[in-house]
Amino acid sequence: MKGRDLLRLAYGGFRGHRLRTLLSVLGVSAGIAAVVVLTSLGSAARDYITREFLSLGTNLLIVLPGKTETTGMVPVIGGVPHELTLEDAEYLERNLRSVKRMTPVVLGSARARHRNRARNVTVVGTSETFREVNGLTVARGIFLPRRVARKHEPVCVLGATVARELFGRENPLNQFVRVGGFRFRVIGVTAPRGMMLGADLDEMIEVPTRSAMKLFNRRGLFRLLIELKNEEAIPFVRRDVARLIKERHEGEEDITVFTQDALLATFGKILDAVTAALSAIAAISLAVAGIGIMNVMLVAVSERRNEIGLMKALGATRNQVTALFLTEAALLGGFGGAAGILFGTAACRVFTRIYPDFPVSPPLWAVAAAAFVALGVGAFFGGYPARKAARLDPVAALRSRG
């Protein structure tokens, strides 16, 4: 039997059962649409996070105060971890090699006011490098100069949203903003940048690190970003950071150093787990759809016993009968798959329209895999009915009514 004839005969089997065929195709398409949407979401989430990290700059070490793992020691007096101070940062900068730039970051929330307008803002104590690392551009004025990081100087740079809401159409440059108990002179406004790892950069005010520490009455840094000149230096610098901090913190290594890769890997693991869970749900819906196909095929086999007997009398082998019903089931799966891919892609489009910052589009491999899975589901769940058809005794099959 030629492949084309097989397809034609199998397709002909759907004639007269349009509703039944349509319903089982819909069943598969729902499952496949779920697979397409969920894998697209998973891959979009991964892309999103990777993109965010890449914009942080490569070869980045992130130093956090405190140790994330327990030491097993009984906390006696002085067991509280030392804070990571600006002096620590300066000491590291003086003694480390291969460092391109170092950004101490202090983070806090405060109320910013200009005349009668006020709003809550995130205050970032930092320096020029924060702009570089986050890919911020200055729309007006200048960013915080490098030198001001280490001393208190009452100047600030406004995020785009903050500038608009506090100053409206006025030019904010050289005007004053009251943040907490301090007055800061506006020296720059950043261009809109949007969300960055869940924080809106446009709703921030950047001030010199020292000033932010004064503002929040804090000695410790939120974190220290160290960008290295090259990737090879990462392990050495990492070791040196630990050693130098230990020297300054009375022999205690009370900091945690992350690399960007490690963070990415952690996110990757979480995403994998989430994706696996979602896939399991999709797999269940596919299994249900497959059982639907099996049901439809079993009905088809018992309805067409007569025809199966006839085919055998006309010289069809068992394998040909099997192939015919398998093809029919695979076609159900295939049509379901095609419809599912269309539905899934449409759903992704709608999603992207609603959340433009999080573009979801089905990756090619997911589409290909979905099509393959749909055919496979059809063939797998059609296998039993097809074998049943092939095993029918032709005499009995011919004698049956129908």
Partner 1 sequence: MIRLENISRTFFVGGRPVHALRKVSFSIAEGEYVTIMGASGSGKSTLLNILGCLDRPNAGRYFLDGREVGGMKDEELAAVRGHKIGFVFQAFHLVPRLTALENVELPMVFAGAERGARRRAAQKALETVGLADRAEHRPNQLSGGERQRVAIARSIVMKPAILLADEPTGNLDSRTGLEVIALLEKLNTSGMTLVIVTHDPKLGSRAPHLIRLSDGRVIEDVFPKGAVTAKRSINRAGERADENVAD
Neighbours of 377 (CB within 10 A): 30
Q: Can residue 15 be called a binding residue for partner 1 (CB under 8 A)?
A: yes
Q: Pick the piece of the chain touching partner 1 (CB under 8 A) from 5-13, 76-84, 203-211, 275-283.
A: 5-13
Backbone phi and psi for residue 169, each to the nearest 5 degrees, phi listed first: -90, -5
Q: How far is the CB of 4 from partner 1 (least distance, A)?
A: 8
* Residue nearer to partner 1 on the CB measure, 123 or 392: 392
Q: Binding residue for partner 1 (CB under 8 A) from 92, 186, 316, 379?
A: 316
Among 97, 317, 349, 365, binds partner 1 (CB under 8 A): 317
Please tell me the distance from the alpha carbon of residue 200 to that of residue 186, in angstroms, as a whole number.
Answer: 19
Of 120, 318, 350, 355, the one binding partner 1 by CB under 8 A:
318
CA distance 305 to 307: 5
**Minimum CB separation from partner 1 for residue 19, in Å?**
16
Q: Does 7 bind partner 1 (CB under 8 A)?
A: no
Minimum CB separation of residue 394 from partner 1 in Å reads 5
Under the binding rule (CB under 8 A), the answer on residue 299 touching partner 1 is no
Single out the segment in contact with partner 1 by CB under 8 A; choices: 83-91, 190-198, 269-277, 311-319. 311-319
- Give per-residue burial for 72-90: e unless 16+ CB within 10 Å, then b: eeeeeeeeebbebbbebbe
Least distance in Å: CB of 318 to partner 1? 5
Output 109 or 319, the one with its CB closest to partner 1.
319
Near partner 1 in 375-394, by CB under 8 A: 393-394
Q: How far is the CB of 338 from partner 1 (least distance, A)?
A: 23
Report whether 311 contacts 321 (CB < 8 A). yes
> What does the alpha-carbon distance between residue 327 and residue 332 come to, in Å, rounded to a whole number?
9
Q: Which uninterrupted H or E stretch holds 183?
A: strand 182-190
Task: Based on the shown chain and the rule CB under 8 A, indicate whether residue 306 belongs to the binding site for partner 1.
Answer: yes
Say if residue 355 is exposed, middle or buried (CB neighbours under 10 Å; 0-12, 13-18, 19+): exposed
Q: With 0-12 CB in 10 A as exposed, 13-18 as middle and 19+ as buried, what is 361? A: middle
Is 402 a binder of partner 1 (CB under 8 A)? no
310 binding partner 1? (CB under 8 A): yes
Residue 226 found at the interface with partner 1 (CB under 8 A): no
* CA–CA distances in Å: residue 311 to residues 178, 304, 306, 329, 396: 89, 10, 9, 18, 13
Give backbone dihedrals phi and psi of 5, rounded to 5 degrees, phi first. Answer: -65, -40
Using CB under 8 A as the criterion, which residues of the chain lie in contact with partner 1 when the complex forms?
Answer: 1-2, 5, 9, 12, 15-16, 306-307, 309-320, 393-395, 398
